[in-house]
Amino acid sequence: MHRIVFRIACFSALLAGLVPLVLQAQDTDEFIMVPAELVGTAPLPPPVDGDYEWLRQAEYDTVICPFRGRIDYGPGEIECGLIQVPENREVKGSRTIELHFVRINARGEDHEGNEVEVRDDPVIYLTGGPGVKVEGYVERLKDHRVAARRDLYILEQRGIGYSGDFCPFFADRNRADFIRPDFVDSQRAMFDQARACIEGAKARGVDVTGYHTFENARDLKALRLALGLDDWNVWGISYGSVLGQAYMKVDPDGIRAAVIDAIVPLDLHDLMRIPHWHERNLDMLFAACEDQAACARAFGDLRERYMAAIEAMSDEPVALEVEADERYPTGQAYIFQDLIAGLPFSLLYEQSTHPAIPAIIEGLTRAVERNDQRFFRAIALAEQDGGFGVSMGMSTAVRCLDGYVERWAEAAPGDFRDYPTLAHAFGALEVIAEAPQLCREVGLAPRDPAQFELVQTDLPVLVANGAWDPITPVPLAEYIMPGFANGELVVFPHAGHGPTRSLDCAGDLLNDYFDDPAAELDRECIEHGEEAAEYIAPYFRSRAVTRGIVMHAEKEDRLRGHMTWGGVSAGLSLAAVVVLLFGWLSRRLEGRSLTPAGGSRFLMFLAAAAALTHVAGLGAAVHATSEITEAMLLFGMVSWARWFAWLGPLSAVLGMLALVQGWRYRPAIAAAPRIGLLLAGLAVISLSIFTLVWDLWPV
């Protein structure tokens, strides 16, 4: 649960100020070059190929992997190294920086344990963001099927994580200044964070003008040379796709074949039009919901309610009084409309989360309609873990230098006109308009747009995209295809962002393609690697998780008391089932008759069994829901949880009936069994009340 709240927080941060939502990539219409007189010095033109100083030392150094102990891997499975490169190859005498890279060694066996041939043409994976740290990728890709046959290299790009993050506390410095009651002011606060980050880095000797996509591409060539490789296969997703396109210009002779996925056009065409693309997302989502009878019945009027909820949050954000701490030093927390719009948007990335999205939209909408303060407190108070993590200093530099910020400012007026509700959820027009000037003021003027013209190449390139990709949709992939004379576009019909990474079968597809790029593709994985989402409709509503988050943050002792209450009640109920069952079996085996007691023992057995099934079934529902997405637990669970929820009141009724019958027939029951029945009945009723208090009944 903490992970999904972190994603929400990251999403909100990425929408603010200098950091538009390009962590996943988006669109913008056209790149505008800023006149040199506005910057003070014109951006240096890229030197000719022979003038580059690729490496500062000919080889790489080995290093103990910095994530050792946090990621589970065996000896020889993963190795790490460092290379030294110029910080800015366009500036003579530029200082040296060190870049961290990871090698996931080929396993030599497939996912079924069969031995396979290890090929000598490795794959370089180009990470996303821009700015996502390497550790999350290693965790995710170490078991990817592409590593069955090929070594997989991952370069932690300059300015990221262990490759010299120059603003590691980007959103954590001076938190009191960062928390603002107004959405526009909160976005401007991100400007202040960005300015402080870049100016502080410059004061420490960082040449921030060296942190852009073409220097990242040059670093890839440097890594290839340090490894002694003549060529390799390229695989890039999201920001990695645009880096892949730049790399095709920088080092075409070093590329054997390439797969780029979740396409960001090199010229950023239409990428930054977030409201436009999210309107498309919602069209697809609600049309698919309408095609499923249960979803249509449960959420028939949801789109109108949802848009009204976003507007309501835009008009009146949620203000919360919280205990002052490191995150909220002023004792104030504010929830804005970007949460309501951003959570469903972020969940469209992974197709595995799609079944829950209509239910989550309904839950968000209901929270706004009912002004559910507990829900908003849970969002504010949940502890956050790092997830994939983003180095926002590097990310800010890339967005400014590559032109994302300029493109965003160009596209915004039209999107605010055409999609006002969503546009106001994803940003403030006046703040977006100010962003390019801030880039110029801190010395990050956009580079020459001629460098970002679309690639024209005859390299073998497989261009992939998920049909449901919310941020880099299929039209962007279609846009770049004319430049690939030897390219093929494949669309995964039910996938989200980056299907070549997320689908199990995609590793086999990649290996087959890299084995022989000229061969006809086996389209089984593309067409059938993922089924269409079957939406959770209706869902079992419960506020148990939001209550737990708030209680854990504010009244942890009380939460422990509640858990003890539930645990003791469940333990006694289990003991009752065991004792009653074995007592009946022993009497049957010994041929002893049972003193009539009005069925009190049988009723108690049923009551305890129902209570335990109630708890176990809801536990299974929690697991099934979290397998789809932990975010769903903020609102409830999968539909079938309701059937187990009914066992809560049923067990209470059966427990009371058993106690009544036990009282009526008490003369026929010995003292010890009578006490046992009483304790069992109280435990069952107590467990039922516990689940009622925790909103786990179907009423």
pLDDT score recorded for residue 488: 98
For residues 130, 64, 171 and 405, what is the CA-based torsion angle, rounded to 10 degrees? -10
Amino acid present at 602:
F
109-129 burial, b for 16+ CB within 10 Å, e for fewer? eeeeeeeeeebebbbbbbbbb
Tokens 């796709």 belong to: 241
* Cα distances (angstroms) measured from residue 677 to each of 157, 362, 595, 603, 607: 66, 44, 15, 10, 11
Question: Could you tell me whether strands 461-466 and 487-492 are parallel, antiparallel, or unpaired per DSSP bridges?
Answer: parallel
Asked if 377 and 322 count as a contact pair (C-beta separation under 8 A), the reply is yes
Asked if 111 and 148 count as a contact pair (C-beta separation under 8 A), the reply is yes
Q: Helix (H, G, I), strand (E, B), or coil: what is residue 220?
A: helix
pLDDT score recorded for residue 247: 98
pLDDT score recorded for residue 384: 66
Tokens 């019909």 belong to: 493
608-641 burial, b for 16+ CB within 10 Å, e for fewer? bbbbbebbebbeebbeebbebbbbbbbbbbbbeb
Q: Helix (H, G, I), strand (E, B), or coil: what is residue 74?
A: coil
49 Cβ neighbours under 8 A, 6+ residues apart: none
Among the listed ranges 38-47, 440-449, 453-462, which one has the minimum average pLDDT value?
38-47
Digit-coded pLDDT (tens) for 168-187: 999 888 889 889 999 999 99
Does the pTM exceed 0.95?
Answer: no
Q: Beta-carbon neighbour count of residue 461 at 10 Å?
A: 26
Digit-coded pLDDT (tens) for 311-358: 999 999 999 999 999 999 999 999 999 999 999 999 999 999 999 999
Amino acid present at 5:
V
Task: Tell me the CB-side half-sphere exposure of residue 424, using CA atoms within 13 A.
Answer: 17
Q: Select the more confidently predicted residue: 3 or 629.
A: 629
Digit-coded pLDDT (tens) for 637-665: 999 999 999 999 999 999 999 999 888 88
- What CA–CA distance (Å, rounded) separates 452 from 245? 9
Distance, first Cα to last Cα, the chain: 24
Question: Could you tell me whether strands 232-237 and 123-126 are parallel, antiparallel, or unpaired per DSSP bridges?
Answer: parallel
Q: Return phi, psi of residue 597, to 5°.
A: -135, 30
Q: How big is the CA angle at 397 (ends 393 and 403), to the nearest 5 degrees?
A: 145
Amino acid present at 47:
P
- What CA–CA distance (Å, rounded) separates 491 from 409? 30
pLDDT score recorded for residue 699: 81
Q: Return phi, psi of residue 292, to 5°.
A: -110, 120
Digit-coded pLDDT (tens) for 360-397: 999 999 999 999 999 999 999 987 654 458 999 999 99
Q: Return phi, psi of residue 508, to 5°.
A: -65, -40
- What CA–CA distance (Å, rounded) separates 291 from 295? 8
Q: How big is the CA angle at 357 (ends 353 and 363), to the nearest 5 degrees?
A: 130
H or E stretch including 155?
A: strand 152-156
Q: Helix (H, G, I), strand (E, B), or coil: what is residue 335?
A: strand
Residue percentage of the chain with pLDDT more than 70: 91
Name the pLDDT band for 501 (thresholds 50, 70, 90).
Answer: very high
Task: Tell me the CB-side half-sphere exposure of residue 67, using CA atoms within 13 A.
Answer: 23
List the structure tokens of 188: 């401007």
Asked if 133 and 161 count as a contact pair (C-beta separation under 8 A), the reply is yes
For residues 380, 384, 390 and 393, what is the CA-based torsion angle, rounded to 10 degrees? 60
The per-residue DSSP string of 87-141 comes to S-TTSTTPPEEEEEEEEE---SB-TTS-B-PPPSS-EEEEP-TTTB-HHHHHHHH
117 Cβ neighbours under 8 A, 6+ residues apart: 108, 149
H or E stretch including 182?
A: none
Digit-coded pLDDT (tens) for 68-109: 999 999 999 999 999 999 999 999 999 999 999 999 999 999
Among the listed ranges 18-22, 640-644, 666-670, which one has the minimum average pLDDT value?
18-22
Q: Beta-carbon neighbour count of residue 482 at 10 Å?
A: 10
pLDDT score recorded for residue 13: 35
Asked if 448 and 506 count as a contact pair (C-beta separation under 8 A), the reply is no
For residues 21, 245, 125 and 524, what is the CA-based torsion angle, rounded to 10 degrees? 90
Asked if 424 and 416 count as a contact pair (C-beta separation under 8 A), the reply is yes
369 Cβ neighbours under 8 A, 6+ residues apart: 305, 309, 312
List the structure tokens of 324: 């002052």
pLDDT averaged over the chain?
90
Q: Is the pLDDT score of 14 beyond 50?
A: no
- What CA–CA distance (Å, rounded) separates 698 from 614? 11
What are the domain boundaries of the chain?
274-381, 541-693
H or E stretch including 85?
A: strand 78-86
- What CA–CA distance (Å, rounded) separates 375 from 65? 40
Name the pLDDT band for 670 (thresholds 50, 70, 90).
Answer: confident
What's the rounded mean pLDDT across residues 467-479?
A: 98
Q: Helix (H, G, I), strand (E, B), or coil: what is residue 571?
A: helix
What's the rounded mean pLDDT across residues 566-583?
A: 92
Digit-coded pLDDT (tens) for 218-268: 999 999 999 999 999 999 999 999 999 999 999 999 999 999 999 999 999
- What CA–CA distance (Å, rounded) separates 193 from 174? 9
